[in-house]
Amino acid sequence: MTVFSFKPTLSVLTVATALSACTMMPRYEQPQVNVPETFRHDTQPETGIQAASLGWQDYFADPRLHRLIELALNNNTDLQEAALNAEAVRRQYMISRADLLPGINASGNGQRGRRAADLSGGNAMVSESYSVGLGITAYELDLFGRVRSQAEAAKQTYFSSAAARDAAHLTLIATVAKAYFNQLHAEEAMVLAQNVLKTRERTYELTQLKHRAGVVSALDLRQQEALIEAAKADYAAAVQSREQAQNALSMLINQPLPNDLPQGLSLEEQFKISKLPAGLSSEVLLNRPDIRAAEYDLRAANANIGAARAAFFPSISLTGTIGTGSTELSGLFEGRNRTWSFMPTINLPIFNWGRNRANLDLANIRKQIQIVRYEAAVQNAFRDVSDALVAREQLDERYDATMRQRQAFADSLRLVRLRYQHGVSNALDLLDAERNSYGADTALLNIELTRLENLADLYKALGGGLKRYTEDPS
């Protein structure tokens, strides 16, 4: 048996690899966006921890919320779609990268047939042939980096899709947290409305006694009845809000709410860290998945320019085979029956200069579009963080002020109620005191919800705790 030499094929591979090291991609330069180095209203707590190194389990404190987020990350359809999109783009990159190396295929065939006597000089003939071989079909020598540029563009597109998946991941965490906070807020609003209703019913009973005794008028009695109905309406609205929040959670986790969820915490205990620092704006840009996606899109556009430039130059394709053939199966592997062929093809662009010029101009314009989008993404990210920081600071001040107001109105209601019971204050004073106290309680509860939503939004705006997908997707 003859041992075949693959030196011609190996030589072709060696030359192709050396030539493909050249590309015509422009040197990538990250756009400089004019944003301040630091954020106003930022705080530096004693921990000094940054959002990028803080997982959501270390930020949110409620074990019930932890379980809901886990279910959402496993079951949410939007996140699953984003992950599948990223995987599809990764496969497309692997296809593009495969074009960098020649594909070697093995083939074998045999044929045996009888030729009619009239077609072969009066004598019937039986012929047979056999062949086996290895071949390369239309492999392009990437002399000017066209294929390499296309593969690089495909890789950067994958990185962009992975960053989009990260953004969906982070958005889902914040959305689940906010829906859960709304459920807790609605439940506390229900409790508040029930307590107010019980208090107003007791006041109404006292007013009825005074009305029978002729101390107060029917108008006072009707006003108390109106307050009772208002409390019932507030309770019904809170029930509606709770049910809607539960529906939102069910949709986010893609299943009904489980019955075995852990015991939850109160609104005041939802976060382990309430003063998460923003840090330098440049760090935020690295952590935000939408910023990373915008930059990867820009890198892909930059690589496409290299492919468009390479189209102006000749391309060479190689087709070659090596093998053996024989008219007899027993002689198939004899050395004298070795076969080979080598068929290079060169393609010279002559009359398509206008098309190639337009393609190059289009690639440059698309790069400029991506630069604009990158700058817009950076500016939007800076605004998101700045808005969240100033909201956190002002919400804290509003919460403290409303807490003091609530206490003042609660003390006032207690005193007015005592005066009313002893006939010193009239029903109008009591009604005003009850409205003020209930309004302060409701305002405090609403501000608490807004504070929690702000902290969830800030974690998202800072790109908290996500892995950066910059490794080779192969």
pLDDT tens for residues 434-452?
889 999 999 999 999 999 9
pLDDT exceeds cutoff 60 at 11: no
Q: Report pLDDT for 6.
A: 36
pLDDT exceeds cutoff 50 at 456: yes
Q: Report pLDDT for 472.
A: 57
CA dihedral 258→262→268→273, nearest 10 degrees, is -110
Flag the least confident range among 89-98, 120-129, 455-464.
120-129
- Domains annotated for the chain, with CATH where assigned, are 1-24+102-141+314-348 (2.20.200.10), 31-100+143-313+353-461 (1.20.1600.10)
Tokens of 185: 């807020």
CA gap 32, 78 in Å, rounded: 33
pLDDT exceeds cutoff 90 at 371: yes
pLDDT band at 157 (very low <50, low <70, confident <90, very high): very high
pLDDT band at 64 (very low <50, low <70, confident <90, very high): very high
| Residue 339 DSSP one-character state | E
pLDDT exceeds cutoff 90 at 115: no
Mean pLDDT of 376-396: 92
User: Which of 110, 137, 147, 161 is CA-nearest to residue 21?
Assistant: 147
Q: Is 450 exposed, middle or buried (0-12, 13-18, 19+ CB in 10 A)?
A: middle
Q: Report pLDDT for 46.
A: 45
Flag the least confident range among 120-134, 268-282, 342-356.
120-134
pTM: 0.83
pLDDT exceeds cutoff 80 at 275: yes
- Whether residue 287 contacts residue 299, with contact meaning beta carbons closer than 8 Å, is answered with no
Q: Report pLDDT for 147.
A: 86
- Whether residue 177 contacts residue 449, with contact meaning beta carbons closer than 8 Å, is answered with no
Tokens of 432: 């005003």
pLDDT exceeds cutoff 90 at 237: yes
- Whether residue 223 contacts residue 210, with contact meaning beta carbons closer than 8 Å, is answered with no
Distance of CA 454 to the CA centre of its chain: 19
Q: Give the number of other CB atoms < 10 A from CB of residue 251.
A: 13
Distance of CA 207 to the CA centre of its chain: 59
Q: Which amino acid is at 132?
A: V
Flag the least confident range among 128-142, 156-170, 186-200, 217-231.
128-142
pLDDT exceeds cutoff 80 at 116: no
Q: Percent of the chain having pLDDT more than 90?
A: 43
